[in-house]
Amino acid sequence: MDPKTKELVAISASVAGRCQPCFRHHLRKAKELGIAAEDMQEAIALANRISDVGGQRMAEFVNVVIKE
């Protein structure tokens, strides 16, 4: 995997994991690599969608399991 792709994945993981120090670090590295702002925004939007759906699914799961 090339360095730019790795940083976009790291940005997504940082957002999905809600790690602010990680996000700052990988954002800085992405800028150093010349990654376009729109590509970073796309990675962030993807992470937010994944995180939101994961949260919804977990809430549904918890509600089912707690009734068992």
Q: The domain that contains 38 carries what CATH number?
A: 1.20.1290.10
Cβ–Cβ under 8 Å, residues 26 and 14: yes
Tokens of 44: 């962030």
Please report the pLDDT score of residue 40 as a whole number: 98
pLDDT digits (tens, 9 = 90+) for 29-57: 999 999 999 999 999 999 999 888 888 88
Number of structural domains the chain divides into: 1
Per-residue pLDDT of 11-34, as tens digits, reads 999 999 999 999 999 999 999 999
pLDDT reported for residue 10 = 98
Q: How far is 21 from 16, CA to CA, in rounded Å?
A: 13
**Domain coverage including residue 39:** 3-65
Total-model pTM: 0.81
